[in-house]
Amino acid sequence: MTVARRAPSVVLPLAALVVAVGVWWALTVALAIPPFLLPSPAAVVARLAGNPDLYLTNAVATLRKVLVGGAAGITAGFTLALVVWAVPVLERAVYPYLVALRVLPKIAVAPIFLIYFGVGFDTAVVFVALIVFFPIVVGTAAGLDRTPDSHLDLLQSVDAGAVQTFLAVRLPHALPDVFAGVKQSVTLAVVGAVVAEWILANDGLGSLILAASENVQVDVMLAALTVLLAIGLCLYGGVALCYRRVAWQ
């Protein structure tokens, strides 16, 4: 029964993808669109198959930035969320700056990073960490405040300590919000890595897309975007799978 219920969640998105690719292919044929404007799906696949090492090498470079920067940002965000939750006065002092950090266009900060830190992997990682930082702070802090009072009263009645209360009740109830923040963070990490590779690094799929745009190689750009899409979906799916494993209802 469970498999039957999950099947549509897999089949329907795949069917939509097939339809979208079919429409794309039909448009390129019916309208005779020049390949330099919109190559066919076959041309994009041919690019991927013709030089897989190029896309694999750049994908690994981008994935490294995503994983390292994302892990650093998520860890820092989760830690700060715990601190501001535990010290309410600190939350009131820090939260306005977190909001300012959220609304600040991150791409506007990239040139400053370039001046102070130069071009390289470390700079790109710091930039990615900055982008993924805010969602995990907000999600974790909000989740820790969602614990029902009845649960807290029950633990107080048995003289449970602060650490025991946190691990037994507060953290489990916060998991949906924490993982919602992580899902946002991993998708933003991919975006941040690409932006960083445009400005702060010389390798990765972002740099490949930029070079292809300068040479009007739309098929190369779409091939790189396809790989980026696969990376983003895999990361998002991995987080969703982890949540199913650890969350309780």
CA-CA distances (angstroms) from residue 211 to 38, 46, 196, 205, 208?
Answer: 17, 19, 14, 10, 5
* Listed residue (67, 51, 27) closest to 234, CA to CA: 67
Residue 94 has which token pair? 């820090």
Q: 97 pLDDT exceeds 50?
A: yes
pLDDT of residue 9: 63
Q: What does the domain layout of the chain look like in residue ranges?
A: 54-246
Check if CATH label 2.40.30.10 holds for domain 54-246. no
d(CA 214, CA 102) in angstroms, rounded, equals 31
d(CA 75, CA 136) in angstroms, rounded, equals 9
Q: 98 pLDDT exceeds 50?
A: yes
Higher-confidence residue: 149 or 217?
217
What's the chain's average pLDDT? 85
Q: Rounded mean pLDDT of 171-187?
A: 88
- Burial class (CB within 10 angstroms; exposed 0-12, middle 13-18, buried 19+) of 206: buried
Instruction: Give the position of tokens 């009072």.
Output: 149
pLDDT of residue 8: 55
Express each pLDDT in 40-76 by its tens digit.
888 899 999 988 999 999 999 999 999 999 999 999 9
Higher-confidence residue: 171 or 56?
56
